[in-house]
Every structure is written in structure tokens, then in C-alpha cells.
Amino acid sequence: MPASLEIPRRSEVISRHKERGGRVAAVFPIHYPRALFRAFNVLPVEVWGPPKIEARQGEKHLQSYTCSIVRNGLSFVISGGLNVADFIVVPHACDSLQGFGSILIDFIKPEKPVIPIYIPRGTRESDIEFFTEELKSVFTRLAEAGAGSPSDPELIQAIEREEEADKLLQEIFQKRTHLPFSDIEFYRLVRAREYLPGEEFIELARDAVDRAGDNPQSGIPIILSGIVPEPMEILNAIVRRGGVVVADDFACLGRRLYPAGKSEEPRRRMAESIILGPPDSTRGSPIGDRVRHLRKLVEESGARGVVFYNIKFCEPELFHLPILRKGLKDAGIPSVVVEADIGEELSRQVETSLETFMEVIK
């Protein structure tokens, strides 16, 4: 068994980057241009919650049916958890995040720039044009905040580095069942993309890919879909029932396996990459596209079923689920929906539903 991968901790990466004179952006879910921030020597560090924090401070500003990502995120900001960040970036993935951005700007008023990013809900030429303009305005915000003003060649250099990291991420996913890692170790590795600088992720990913063996892992093959695999205990619960995750449709991972953009104009190239990524409820992709995408994942991976690991009150996902599941059922693909809150333990109900589902598909 090869030695485990050494994945640096988030706090360590942030300190190192700051010691070298860089700045940090705390980035909320889901889609944003990593390369644009890196060209300004700003390290994007993603904030998915975080899960294990006291969420009460944020609750008083939110409706009771707001998801735990926004609830915990707001509490984290209020309690000073993001003091280390120089920017807070809020992509408008959903109504809850849009509301979160407004609360920050209008009420909390943190002492650092809050940069919203508006993402179009389509893949037409006009959507790419709109998003290109949006990225120009993010560029201006960063430049006005004194982060410098990178030239186009510097932007292209940053883009190429992120494209290489994305390509390796794809390769890790393709080889995932041949890698000598447990599901938890695998997800720690791929989620390091949420905070590691692209060049460090590239090294880590190359090391991982080199460890791929000849024989695939055994177990009942399933696909996981949802926003983020939190609580990560779901992965152990799957293993305990003889399952193995063979493909991924999480918004934080599989739906961000971006293709490289083609344009020579850097902002447009970043826009193309995100807009033409895998279908995602939060980018307003048609449900039919998601059905086709999931059927293809099942076909390619040999999965026997799909587990939708949904965050409570996540509207974009809840709107898609009935038609998505019907589309899978029509193709003979079983699925189950289990719900979790990122700050809670995995419930008995989730364990039971998972157990029944694994029994049915084994």
C-alpha cells in the first residue's frame, strides 16, 4: 500500500500564501473563475458552510427554511471566521445565495469588499457574452481594490495553469476506481481543489494519478449526486453497506469538471469554460440535459443506481429531482433521495434509506 497523499491543510495554505504577500478571497458556492483571481495574486478559498460551526448567529437574519450552507456561511462571517480574507465573493448560484449577498452588502457590511458574480442561466452565445462582461466587471473590482492589473498574457498564463489542473481533476475522476484510496480519502483529495493553488493541486493530482493500479475496487457501484458531500460520513455509510462510489455529480465536483475555453480573449475564455461545463441545476440547465448526463455517467461507470444526497431546503435541486428521477427510472436506473444538513450527524433515516436502497440494487 503506497503512503497516503500529503494534503496540506487549508489554514496552512492560506498562511503560506499571505506570507508571500498574496491576498485571499473567501468564495461562496458555486461557479467562479479561479484563474482571474490568481492572476491578481488572490488565492480563492471556497467556503461550503463550513459544516462544524455554531450557526445561531446567522439564523436571526434568515428565514427558517434557508439551507445550511447559507446559514452556516453567514454565521461564519459574523463570528469573524473570514477575518483572514481580503475579499468575499458571492456567486449567485441560487436565491438563497443572492439573499446572502444582499444581507452582507446591506446589513452586515464587512470591512472588506464583497464581490457578487451573476451567472447566466443558459449556454447560448448571449450567455457567454453576458458572463464575459460580468468577468470584466469582477476584474475592475479587483483592480480598484488595489490588487494590481494583470495584463492579458498574465491572465492567459493563469488560465492555462487552471486548465491543466482541471484536466488532471478529470483524469483522477476517470481513474477513481483504480486509485488506492478509500472514498473519504478520494474526496479529500479532489476537494483540495477548493483551496489549493492550481500549481500545487497539479503536483498532488499527478502523484495520485501515478498510483492508479490495474484492478478496480470492488463493491456495489453507485453514483452520488447533490451539492456537496457533507456530512462526509455518507461515504463511510456507503462503504459499510458494500457500496463503492464510481462517478460523481456533485455541484462542487463533477459539475465543475470544466472544459477548457477556446477564445484567445482571456475573459471570454474563462466564461466559455464555466458556461459550457456539465449541466447543473444552479446554472439553470434543462432537466433533460441532466437526465442525459446522468444516464451517460451510469453507462460509462457501470453504476447500478444513483444516490441523491440533498441538502435540506436546497431549492434548485428539489425542483429538478422529480423529473430527473423519472428520467432515470424510464431508463431502468434506480435512485434514492436522502437529505442532510451539513452541520448535523447523519440521521438514522438516511442510514435506513441507504441500507434499503443498497439491498435493492445489489
Residues forming the site for ligand SF4 (CB under 6 A): 29, 67, 69-70, 93-94, 96-97, 227, 282, 311, 314-316
Would you say 122 or 284 has its CB closer to ligand SF4? 284
Q: For helices 266-275 and 125-144, what crossing angle results, to 10°?
A: 120
Would you say 68 or 217 has its CB closer to ligand SF4? 68
Would you say 69 or 128 has its CB closer to ligand SF4? 69
Cβ(235)–Cβ(217) below 8 Å: no
Q: At closest approach, how far in Å is the CB of 304 from ligand SF4?
A: 27
Q: At closest approach, how far in Å is the CB of 339 from ligand SF4?
A: 11
Q: At closest approach, how far in Å is the CB of 342 from ligand SF4?
A: 8
Cβ(307)–Cβ(334) below 8 Å: no
Would you say 23 or 255 has its CB closer to ligand SF4? 255
Q: At closest approach, how far in Å is the CB of 212 from ligand SF4?
A: 32
Q: For helices 152-174 and 198-210, what crossing angle results, to 10°?
A: 30
Distance CA 288, CA 301 (A): 20
Q: At closest approach, how far in Å is the CB of 196 from ligand SF4?
A: 22
Residues 6+ apart with CB under 8 A from 59: 71, 75
Would you say 43 or 69 has its CB closer to ligand SF4? 69
Q: At closest approach, how far in Å is the CB of 341 from ligand SF4?
A: 10
Would you say 96 or 132 has its CB closer to ligand SF4? 96
Q: For helices 152-174 and 183-191, what crossing angle results, to 10°?
A: 170
Q: At closest approach, how far in Å is the CB of 331 from ligand SF4?
A: 26
Cβ(222)–Cβ(73) below 8 Å: no
Which DSSP string corresponds to 131-143? HHHHHHHHHHHHH
Residues 6+ apart with CB under 8 A from 308: 225, 226, 317, 321, 324, 325, 335, 336, 337, 338
Q: At closest approach, how far in Å is the CB of 213 from ligand SF4?
A: 35
Would you say 5 or 311 has its CB closer to ligand SF4? 311
In angstroms, what CA-CA distances link 62 with 27, 56, 59?
20, 10, 5
User: What does the chain come to in residues?
Assistant: 362
- For 108, other C-beta atoms within 10 Å of its C-beta total 15
Q: At closest approach, how far in Å is the CB of 355 from ligand SF4?
A: 25
SS3 108: helix
The answer for 231, left when phi > 0, alpha when psi is -120 to 50, beta otherwise, is beta
Give the single-character DSSP code of 282.
G
Would you say 97 or 159 has its CB closer to ligand SF4? 97
SS3 42: strand
Would you say 96 or 177 has its CB closer to ligand SF4? 96
